[in-house]
Structures are given as C-alpha cells and as structure tokens.
Amino acid sequence: MATSASATAAVLAEADRLAAVRRYAILDTPPDGAFDRICSLAARFFDVPLASVTIVDEDRIWFKAIQGLDAVEIPRTPGLCASAILQDEPYVVTDGPIDPRAANNPLVRGELGVRFYAAAPITTSDGHRLGTVNVIDTKPRLVTEREIATLRDLAAIVMDELELRLVAIREIRAEQELRRLGLKEQHLAESLARTLQRSLSPPRLPDIAGLDVAVRYEPFAAEDVGGDFYDHFPLAPGRSGFFLGDVCGKGAEAAAVTSLARYTIRTAALLNEGPWATLADLNTALLMEPGMQTCTAVYGEIDMTGPEATVRLAVAGHPAPLVVRAGGSVETTPAHGTMLGAFDDPAFHTCAVTLAAGDAIVVYSDGILDATTDGVALDEQHVEQLLAGAQHADAQALVDRLWTGVRGMVLRDDVAIMSLRRTA
C-alpha cells in the first residue's frame, strides 16, 4: 500500500514538473546566444570537451545549448540528465564504468564512452527541476567544491533567463490581445517598450549582509527601449559583483546588447579573477556578434570579509564611479578604459578603494552628463557637488539626491543611478 502511494505521488510530481516545463515555453526554440555562452563557459571552466544546457521533456532530453556534440535531443530513458533532475543537489559521476548508477547507461557503454558527468539542476522558484547544466568528459576525474558551486551558479543564471523570458512572453501576449481589441498604437508601443525593459532588468536586487543598495532607472522615451543596464549579484560568501552600463543606441538593437551584456557579465564574473577580465570577456562577446552595437560599462567586485569593504573596479568608456564618504566628502575613482565592442585589444586601468562603515560607491550612466540647463550640460564636477555634504546618507538617499539634482533639467538620454553603501 505504501509503495502504491509512493508511486502515485511520483506520477503526480512528474506531471507538475512537465506542466512547469510547458509553462516556460522553451522547448524547440531556436538557439540563443545567452544559453550558448553559458554552455561555452561551463566547458571552458571545467576543461571538458562536452557541455550542454538541457530541458527534460516527457520522453526526450532536449538541448537548448550544446558544445562538443552535434545533437538536438536524445531519448530520456535511460539518460544521465533524467537521473540528475531527481535530486536537488548537483549529480556527479566521477568514473562511469565503475559507478553503479551509470555503468549500464548507453552514453557510458556506447561509442561516446562517457566517464565523467556532472550536472546541476535548473530549478524553478517553486521547486520544479526543468533540466540541467552539465559537463561531460571521456576521462575519469574528480571535482572540487568550487567547481560544483560554479556549476550550480550557472544553472541559476539559466533559470534567471527563463524567468525573464516568461515575463516577456506573458506581457507581449497581453499586448497582442490589446492590439486585437483596437487600442491606440502609441499606448501599445509604450507598453511593449516597458515590457521589454522589465525583462532586461533584474526583477529585484539581492539582500546581501553588510550592504545597502539602491537603484533608479528613468527611460528617456516611454515608447522606446532604453540602453542602460545594471545588476548586483552574489559571487561567494562575503563577495558580490555589480555593474552599470549604457548601450550606444535605442530600441531592439539596444535590447539585444543589454541582454548579452547582463548575462555575459554575470557568467564571466563567476569564472574570472578580476573585473578587467570580466569586461574583456564582454568585449569579446560583443565582437563575436555581427552588427552588435558598442557599450560603456562599470564593473566592480566588493569583498566584505575584512573590517573594511574592498571594491575592485574596472571601467570601459564610462563616467568614473564616485566614493561618498560617511562624513559627506566625495572622491573620484581613477579607473578608466576603452569602450566595449569597438577594439580587439581594449585597455582597462583598474583601481581598488575601501569602504568603511557608512561609505558608499555611486555609479551612474552618462544620461546624467547629457542633462542641460539653458543649453549648458552637466559635468563630472557638478555631479560631485550634488552628492557632496550627504553625511551618513543611506543608499536610497544618495540616489534620490543625484536624481533630484537633474530631474528639473532637460534630459536627452536614459538615466540610471546605483548606490552601494557599506553598513555598520
């Protein structure tokens, strides 16, 4: 009786999981650069010949992205990925022929000769495992905790992308229905632009102990998609990454660069040893995409494991970040570098600053510097003056202070402002 109840529960759980797969509408979609890059980075980080991003369907394992093998899908049974989605934690086979879970698997016994397999499940917020990010080798090998953590992070990035796609799909369908009902074209353009803009921005910034973070984004035109992008995300205990950038353009082309930039930076940051290398990876990604626009960006990493937070910064053609001390003084950081997507050999001059309790770092897009009064544009010195004297201000107060200083001016571009403050 207990066995029958357990089998029934398993059938119902699988039905719910398949419903989740259908909900994300990802099966049989065309190749996507964001997933391809995650797959490529996984293969490079693990130094393996095979890697893939899979979705486990009812009777097949479908490859959203794959490297090292020319395949679109394989049967689900028996499959390593089908086994990997049965548990919450990463699934690791260090030597297939001697592992009882994998010894009889056709991928192990057959021509491919798989010896090593590691996969992290792509898990929805409500606990359904849609598929895996996995790496494969034809030689046995062990894995470290750092490698497993990286694989888990890559799977989480895939899930973030799927969530953003789902939001965009739902809202675009709603707009299509509005169009069918004959609502005004201008309203549709504005709504579609807002929908796409939301899909390109993080749904919310994470809560990280020791940091107070605030962001403000103001698009220049309601009917068009802006080119500013930003994010803040954990890297390891006590460490996080953040970026803010500006694409040279608007509309669908800018949206493509924004999506590419956001997911390339988040993925590359997990694998690189420093901000300059992360921006170099984004530069390479932009150059690899035909007709891709250029962009500017600031990328930084905050290490809060010591008594003071250390921020390492790299800047690519972007306004220099500012440090606002708890006492109200403002300092300009010396990091600078080449615009991204324009040259094969960009140069990034990095710097490091420390943040004591109450200190903050503020980054902003050059839409601030395009703001004018009586035809005179704002400059970096004026921006510093707007932030000066903000004693013991929290992150939101700093963002509001800068926005208040420009909102009465004539704006000619999108404006994005991010403030990260070290708390006590």
Strands 129-137 and 60-67: unpaired
How high does pLDDT run on average in the chain?
A: 84
> Which part of the chain is CATH 3.30.450.40?
2-157
- CATH architecture label of 205-422: 4-Layer Sandwich (3.60)
User: What span, in angstroms and rounded, lies between the C-alpha atoms of 301 and 239?
Assistant: 7
* Per-residue confidence (pLDDT) for residue 13, from 0 to 100: 85
- For 387-423, the pLDDT digits (tens) are 999 888 899 999 999 998 887 777 777 889 999 999 9
User: What span, in angstroms and rounded, lies between the C-alpha atoms of 127 and 63?
Assistant: 21
267 and 231 Cβ atoms separated by less than 8 Å:
no
Span 123-137, average pLDDT: 93
Residue 258 exposure: Cα atoms within 13 Å on the Cβ side? 26
DSSP state of 320: P
User: What span, in angstroms and rounded, lies between the C-alpha atoms of 290 and 195?
Assistant: 26
Nearest partner of 54 among 79, 78, 33, judged by Cα: 79
* Per-residue confidence (pLDDT) for residue 266, from 0 to 100: 84
Per mean pLDDT, which of 264-273, 277-286, 337-346, 351-360 is the most reliable? 351-360
- Max Cα–Cα distance, the chain, nearest Å: 82
> Which part of the chain is CATH 3.60.40.10?
205-422
Compare 34 and 95 and report the one with higher pLDDT.
Answer: 95
Give the confidence band of 306 by pLDDT, cuts at 50, 70, 90.
confident
Lookup: tokens for 346: 């960009």
Q: What share of the chain is helix, strand, coil (3-state, %, to 5)?
A: 35, 25, 35
Is 184 a residue whose pLDDT tops 50?
A: no
* Per-residue confidence (pLDDT) for residue 310, from 0 to 100: 95
Q: SS3 for 61? A: strand
User: What span, in angstroms and rounded, lies between the C-alpha atoms of 209 and 317?
Assistant: 31
* Per-residue confidence (pLDDT) for residue 221, from 0 to 100: 54
Residue 296 exposure: Cα atoms within 13 Å on the Cβ side? 18
415 and 218 Cβ atoms separated by less than 8 Å:
yes
State what percent of residues in the chain have pLDDT above 90: 40
Strand partners, 73: 62
* Per-residue confidence (pLDDT) for residue 253, from 0 to 100: 63
Per mean pLDDT, which of 44-48, 74-78, 202-206, 373-377 is the most reliable? 44-48
- For 20-40, the pLDDT digits (tens) are 999 998 998 877 777 888 888
Give the confidence band of 374 by pLDDT, cuts at 50, 70, 90.
low
226 Cβ contact partners less than 8 Å away, ≥ 6 residues apart: 197, 217, 219, 220, 250, 254, 414
3 state SS for 391-414: CCCCHHHHHHHHHHHHCCCECCCC
User: What span, in angstroms and rounded, lies between the C-alpha atoms of 316 and 246?
Assistant: 10
> To 10 degrees, what angle do helices 275-288 and 251-271 make?
140
- CATH architecture label of 2-157: 2-Layer Sandwich (3.30)
Span 283-295, average pLDDT: 79
DSSP state of 293: P
Q: C-alpha angle with apex 354: 420 to 283, nearest 5 degrees?
A: 65
